[in-house]
Amino acid sequence: MTWWMWLLFWAIFWVTAVAYLAWRCWRVWPHARDFARTTSEAWSRLDEARNLAEQRSAAENSAALVTQGVDDLAWNKPASHWRGERQRARERQRDLRLDSQAEVWSSWRDPLE
């Protein structure tokens, strides 16, 4: 093969390759455009869902803060709570009795004085 045949071969080869790539890009471009549109819509839907979840959790947290004091005042508490309350009341009474006994003993005069 002579030099001009090689030149013609490579020219035809590169023109065909570029034409094929351009045709593939032209065929794929609407799908890529649709994919970009759908992904941007998906990101916006994700942002909206995240904002709604944040608003919902903020509302739940504020409702929990409002009802927290009501739960502290509620009488329908478990038996363990009331057992603990009874034990603490006994300890308070014992401490008061010991304090009163100490006051009695300290108020007595030493008979040898």
pLDDT tens across 56-107, in order? 888 887 777 666 666 666 667 778 888 888 899 988 888 777 777 666 666 6
What residues have CB less than 8 Å from 1, skipping those under 6 apart? Answer: 9
CA 108 from chain center: how many Å? Answer: 65
Boundaries of every domain in the chain? 80-107
Alpha helix segments (H runs only) across 1-113 = 3-73, 79-107
* pTM higher than the cut 0.85: no
pLDDT computed for residue 8 by the predictor? 95
pLDDT for res 108:
62
Q: Does residue 33 surpass a pLDDT of 70?
A: yes
Enter the tokens of residue 89.
Answer: 């009341």
101: buried, middle or exposed (CB in 10 Å: 19+, 13-18, 0-12)? Answer: exposed
For residue 9, give every residue at least 6 positions away whose Cβ sits within 8 Å of its Cβ, in sequence order, or none: 1
Tell me what pLDDT residue 4 has: 92
Q: Rounded CA gap, 24 and 9, in Å?
A: 22
